[in-house]
């Protein structure tokens, strides 16, 4: 067995069961592990700490599979996938949705591995050398455990570059997809493009938050910013909104959004193709006002190093959002940037409110849905945070 030996004192985070080993903690590697091979992680005194996947190209030099001396083989992945899928069984049985995240990386004990189910299709995303090494075992396990008609790979996320991995996509198991795929969430149907859509096709993490918006939308003029295929916009209509305006820069996403509205018999959205930063300014100059505004921008700060520039962008849209709200209105504002902590996000939104001259209250903190759990020992898993801010009156 290959061995990864840590520098003295660097076993502390592993003992707290944090699953990443950074390059700076590594004293030496014994043997010649290939990328993705399993290494025994040992303290400087030789104590066994974990079995981990070797990622020579990444600053995260190894990711932990397990804390015991159990062999890492196909049956290990079958077990882990079974646990992860079972944890979502109640969600599927509830009838709320036929699409959910089945495997959420580190938080499901499967670092670098994401699997999302959309009706009869599982989409697998492999993001680390270790994940890549076990592609076939994972595809087999997902097929057997879920009984899905196919497993489609979408390993084309940018983060693979950090691991020295080329993008890769295609059918792994089962029958090719004939025609388009539709998911059903809280009674609404959404088309999903698993081949070309964002992430693995849909923003599953916002499921509960879209429902929360629906509950707030009655008789409101709603503005959905960064609308993608209309997730929040259609929920606003389902909740009885008076009007819905949705802004999105991708013409293709808007095409799907229109199709989704039509498929649900909801046609009355004002779809605006454009940049949110500019469109909000235009609406401000036109004196437009809304009762409920959603800001769900893409990841503006992938890591803490981007946080400062991202903070300016978050402040900009939140300030404009507050200015466009009627007194008593609600801003539902999100950040999915791992590099922006909840504390920092609250500070940015508070600064935006101050500059906008409003005095909002936080009615709720929002997070990713429960099929995107956060392992207690892995705070990095907490990437999506949101605030529901009600503007009481002008201050
Ligand atoms: N709320 C959506 C997900 C939003 S993802 C849902 O629930 O499904 C972020 C979206 O913002 C993407 O669709 C992306 O195309 C779009 N986007 C990125 N930058 C933008 C900009 N400057 N202006 C408008 N849309 C933008």
CATH of the domain at 239: 3.40.50.150
Substitution candidate for ligand 1 out of 185, 297, 312 with most atoms within 8 A of CB? 297
Say if ligand 1 is within 6 A of residue 271 CB. no
- Whether 308 and 295 have beta carbons less than 8 Å apart is answered as no
**Average of per-residue pLDDT across 349-353:** 98
Ligand 1 atom with minimal separation from the 298 CA: 9
Higher per-residue confidence, 303 vs 180: 180
Distance (Å) from CA 18 to ligand 1 centroid: 32
Are 30 and 140 part of one and the same domain? no
Are 294 and 341 part of one and the same domain? yes
**Average of per-residue pLDDT across 84-95:** 98
**Average of per-residue pLDDT across 2-15:** 96
Note whether residue 196 is domain-resident.
no
Note whether residue 59 is domain-resident.
yes
Pairwise CA distance, residues 200 & 302, whole Å: 18
Say if ligand 1 is within 6 A of residue 253 CB. yes
Note whether residue 330 is domain-resident.
yes
Distance (Å) from CA 382 to ligand 1 centroid: 20
Which domain-ending residue is among 66, 87, 103?
A: 66
Are 216 and 106 part of one and the same domain? no
- Whether 375 and 18 have beta carbons less than 8 Å apart is answered as no
Kindly indicate the confidence band of residue 395, based on its pLDDT and cuts at 50, 70 and 90. very low
Higher per-residue confidence, 269 vs 300: 269
Q: Whose CA is nearest to atom 21 of ligand 1?
A: 275
Say if ligand 1 is within 6 A of residue 230 CB. no
Looking at the structure of the chain, the number of domains it has is 3
Distance (Å) from CA 250 to ligand 1 centroid: 8
Residues in CB range of 354: below 8 A, 6 or more apart: none
Residues of the chain by 3-state class (helix, strand, coil), percent to 5:
35, 30, 35
Q: Whose CA is nearest to atom 1 of ligand 1?
A: 227
Which domain-ending residue is among 149, 181, 213?
A: 181
Which domain covers residue 132, as residue numbers? 74-181
Higher per-residue confidence, 198 vs 55: 55
Pairwise CA distance, residues 316 & 285, whole Å: 15
pLDDT at 197: 86
Are 99 and 177 part of one and the same domain? yes
Q: Whose CA is nearest to atom 5 of ligand 1?
A: 298
Are 237 and 267 part of one and the same domain? yes
Q: Is the pLDDT of residue 321 over 80?
A: yes
Q: Taking phi first (over 0 means left), then psi (-120 to 50 degrees means alpha), and beta for anything else, what does residue 171 get? A: beta
Q: Is 220 a catalytic residue?
A: no
Q: Whose CA is nearest to atom 11 of ligand 1?
A: 226
Distance (Å) from CA 203 to ligand 1 centroid: 10
Are 22 and 116 part of one and the same domain? no
Residues in CB range of 337: below 8 A, 6 or more apart: 299, 300, 301, 302, 306, 307, 310, 383
Q: What is the pTM of this model?
A: 0.95
Note whether residue 340 is domain-resident.
yes
Distance (Å) from CA 229 to ligand 1 centroid: 9
């Amino acid at each position: 067995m290959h061995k990864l030996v840590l520098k003295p004192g660097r076993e502390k985070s592993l003992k707290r069961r944090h699953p990443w080993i950074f390059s700076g903690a590594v004293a030496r590697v014994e043997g010649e592990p290939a990328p993705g091979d399993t290494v025994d992680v040992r303290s400087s005194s030789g104590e066994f700490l974990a079995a981990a996947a070797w990622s020579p190209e990444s600053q995260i030099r190894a990711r932990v599979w397990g804390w015991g001396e159990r062999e890492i083989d196909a049956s290990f992945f079958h077990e882990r996938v079974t646990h992860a899928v079972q944890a979502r069984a109640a969600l599927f049985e509830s009838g709320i949705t036929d699409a959910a995240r089945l495997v959420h990386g580190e938080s499901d004990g499967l670092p670098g591995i994401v699997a999302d189910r959309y009706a009869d299709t599982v989409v697998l995303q492999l993001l680390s050398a270790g994940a890549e090494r076990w592609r076939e075992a994972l595809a087999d396990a997902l097929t057997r455990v879920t009984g899905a008609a196919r497993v489609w790979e979408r390993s084309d996320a940018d983060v693979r570059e950090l691991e020295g991995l080329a993008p890769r996509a295609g059918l792994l198991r089962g029958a090719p997809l004939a025609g388009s795929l539709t998911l059903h969430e809280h009674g609404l149907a959404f088309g999903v493009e698993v081949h070309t859509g964002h992430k693995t096709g849909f923003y599953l993490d916002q499921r509960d938050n879209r429902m929360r918006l629906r509950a707030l939308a009655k008789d409101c003029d709603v503005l959905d910013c960064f609308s993608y295929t209309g997730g929040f916009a259609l929920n606003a209509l389902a909740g009885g909104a008076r009007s819905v305006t949705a802004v999105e820069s991708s013409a293709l996403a808007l095409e799907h959004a229109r199709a989704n509205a039509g498929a649900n018999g909801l046609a009355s959205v004002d779809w605006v193709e454009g940049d949110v930063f500019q469109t909000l300014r235009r609406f401000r100059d036109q004196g437009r006002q809304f009762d409920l505004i959603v800001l769900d921008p893409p990841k503006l700060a992938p890591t803490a190093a981007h946080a400062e520039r991202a903070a300016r962008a978050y402040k900009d849209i939140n300030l404009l959002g507050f200015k466009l709200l009627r007194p008593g209105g609600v801003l539902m504002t999100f950040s999915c940037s791992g590099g922006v902590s909840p504390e920092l996000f609250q500070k940015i939104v508070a600064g935006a409110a101050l500059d906008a001259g409003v005095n909002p209250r936080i009615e709720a903190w929002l997070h990713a849905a429960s099929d995107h759990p956060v392992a207690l020992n892995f705070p990095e898993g907490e990437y999506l945070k949101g605030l529901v801010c009600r503007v009481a009156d002008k201050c």
